[in-house]
């Protein structure tokens, strides 16, 4: 019997001052490294996309130092970013996608925008396809999840789609099931915290970690009461207020640090403010898990926990004790973005998943029956 080919994929995940790379064959990691970039050099570039050649060169230097040859790689996959809202899946990197990533068509300038551009560069060099997998702007919300009580204001969710969906896919396989046949509450609990509801392979609801929704996180404010926020916002710079959603909220605002281990230690040592903040974060997590359970009408096959904070046993036990009546709780500590990207590309290469074309048109633009 002929042995099935084990495809190789090279994954690229750019961060603010580094780029994580990984070479995979099947589900085995052959090489993984974080490429550090000189912050002072990065600051000399006027735009993110202008960093492209510098980042590519530093990646190539590291690969050369470690005798890594990419000539037999079957596909290159980059972290998606800067795109308009799309449904989940694997997208080929073409002209429209490149253009949108380059200019940040969704209005967000983030190092992730460079992922697809770097993957495309390597793909052109070696004559292989380039992909992005479940980009941050993955949008599979059900219609009711979009509606708010203000006419013309709708929910748009940005969350850890790559990790969330990959956790669900892997858990399903472990249970001998298909992701498309299961309902899950999937949480990413790390520097940012995403709580999401997955119904038959689609992420029908979730918390917007960019727009100030969901539980507070180490550096994010989470959901806050509007009236109180308006009072707080008087006379403040909008940029400063927006930063509370992604950089300066949560533990940073309350305690002056985003270091969760420090907060937990301070709480254990009797610091009342630290204990209150830590307990509040746990409380908010379970509250949003409960809301996702009702969005799934109580039909939940499992509560899946991913992200760096899931290494904390107290957190996992608290969620198990308070939410275990909804469904079994399964911890998957840490992040596996590189693995998730490579796995998506390999599923396409094996014919297990259909590659999609990025058109640049937002997945949702409003309800048809509404007035212009």
Residue among 32, 24, 29 at smallest CA distance from 8:
24
34 and 167 both lie in a single domain: no
79 DSSP assignment: -
Separation in Å, CA 85 to CA 97, 156, 256? 12, 9, 34
Q: Cα–Cα distance between 179 and 172 in angstroms, integer?
A: 5
- What pLDDT sits at residue 16? 81
Q: Cα–Cα distance between 217 and 196 in angstroms, integer?
A: 15
82 DSSP assignment: S
Tokens found for residue 276: 């209150």
168 and 20 both lie in a single domain: no
Task: Report if residue 83 sits inside a domain.
Answer: yes
Q: Which residue has the tokens 């090489």?
A: 31
CATH number at residue 60: 3.30.420.40
Task: Report if residue 1 sits inside a domain.
Answer: no
Across the chain, mean pLDDT equals 95
pLDDT band at 158; cut points 50, 70, 90: confident
Tokens found for residue 365: 């633009």
Residue of higher predicted confidence among 36 and 92: 92
346 and 261 both lie in a single domain: no
89 and 167 both lie in a single domain: no
Instruction: Note down the domain range covering 110.
Output: 8-138+338-357
**3-class state of residue 270 by DSSP:** coil
160 and 99 both lie in a single domain: no
> Worst-scoring range by mean pLDDT, 107-111, 166-170, 273-277?
107-111
372 pLDDT above the threshold of 60: no
Task: Report if residue 205 sits inside a domain.
Answer: yes
2 pLDDT above the threshold of 90: no
Task: Report if residue 148 sits inside a domain.
Answer: yes
262 and 352 both lie in a single domain: no
66 and 21 both lie in a single domain: yes
- What pLDDT sits at residue 4? 80
Q: What is the pLDDT of residues 322-332, one digit of tens each?
A: 999 999 999 99
Task: Report if residue 222 sits inside a domain.
Answer: yes
190 and 326 both lie in a single domain: yes
Separation in Å, CA 228 to CA 44, 131, 167, 223, 288? 40, 44, 36, 12, 21
The mean pLDDT value for 195-212 works out to 95
The mean pLDDT value for 192-217 works out to 95
24 and 48 both lie in a single domain: yes
Separation in Å, CA 171 to CA 203, 213, 293? 15, 26, 18
- What pLDDT sits at residue 114? 96
299 and 252 both lie in a single domain: yes
For the chain, the domain total comes to 2
Task: Report if residue 264 sits inside a domain.
Answer: yes
Return the H-helix or E-strand segment holding 305.
strand 302-307
17 and 69 both lie in a single domain: yes
Is the distance from CB of 306 to CB of 335 less than 8 angstroms?
yes
Task: Report if residue 371 sits inside a domain.
Answer: no
Q: What count of other Cβ atoms lies within 10 Å of the Cβ of residue 146? A: 17
Is the distance from CB of 221 to CB of 250 less than 8 angstroms?
yes
1 pLDDT above the threshold of 90: no
118 and 180 both lie in a single domain: no
Is the distance from CB of 64 to CB of 1 less than 8 angstroms?
no
The mean pLDDT value for 26-43 works out to 92
pLDDT band at 246; cut points 50, 70, 90: confident
Task: Report if residue 223 sits inside a domain.
Answer: yes
pLDDT band at 110; cut points 50, 70, 90: confident
In the chain, alpha helices (H): 39-43, 52-65, 95-103, 113-126, 143-146, 161-174, 226-233, 238-243, 251-255, 260-268, 272-295, 313-323, 337-349
Question: Of all residues in the chain, what percent carry a pLDDT higher than 90?
Answer: 85
Q: Cα–Cα distance between 21 and 292 in angstroms, integer?
A: 34
């Amino acid at each position: 019997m002929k042995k099935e080919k084990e495809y190789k994929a090279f994954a690229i995940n750019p961060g603010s001052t580094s780029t994580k790379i990984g070479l995979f064959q099947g589900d085995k990691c052959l090489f993984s490294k974080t490429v550090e970039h000189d912050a002072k050099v990065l600051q000399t570039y006027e735009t993110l996309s202008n960093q492209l050649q510098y980042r590519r060169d530093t990646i190539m230097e590291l690969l050369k130092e470690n005798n890594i040859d990419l000539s037999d790689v079957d596909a290159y996959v980059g972290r998606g970013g800067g795109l308009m809202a799309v449904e989940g899946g694997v997208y080929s990197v073409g002209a429209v996608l490149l253009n949108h990533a380059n200019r940040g068509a969704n209005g967000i300038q983030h190092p992730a925008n460079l992922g697809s551009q770097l993957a495309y560069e390597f793909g052109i060099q070696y004559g292989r396809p380039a992909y992005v997998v479940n980009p941050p702007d993955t949008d599979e919300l059900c219609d009711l999840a979009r509606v708010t009580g203000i006419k013309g204001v709708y929910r748009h969710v940005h969350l850890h789609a790559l990790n969330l969906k990959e956790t669900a896919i892997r858990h399903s396989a472990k249970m001998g099931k298909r992701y498309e046949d299961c309902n899950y509450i999937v949480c990413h609990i790390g520097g940012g915290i995403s709580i999401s509801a997955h119904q038959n392979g689609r992420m029908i609801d979730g918390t917007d970690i960019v727009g100030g929704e969901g539980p507070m996180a180490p550096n994010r404010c989470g959901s806050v009461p509007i009236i109180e926020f308006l009072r707080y916002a008087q006379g403040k710079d909008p940029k400063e207020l927006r930063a509370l959603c992604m950089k300066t909220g949560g533990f940073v605002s309350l305690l002056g640090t985003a270091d969760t281990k420090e907060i937990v230690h301070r709480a254990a040592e009797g610091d009342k403010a630290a204990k209150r903040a830590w307990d509040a974060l746990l409380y908010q997590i379970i509250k949003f898990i409960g809301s996702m359970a009702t969005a799934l009408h109580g039909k939940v096959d499992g509560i899946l926990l991913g992200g760096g904070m899931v290494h904390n046993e107290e957190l996992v036990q608290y969620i198990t004790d308070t939410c275990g009546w909804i469904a079994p709780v399964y911890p998957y500590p840490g992040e596996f973005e590189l693995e998730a990207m490579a796995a998506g590309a390999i599923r396409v290469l094996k014919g297990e998943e259909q590659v999609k074309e990025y058109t640049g048109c937002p997945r949702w633009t409003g309800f048809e029956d509404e007035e212009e």
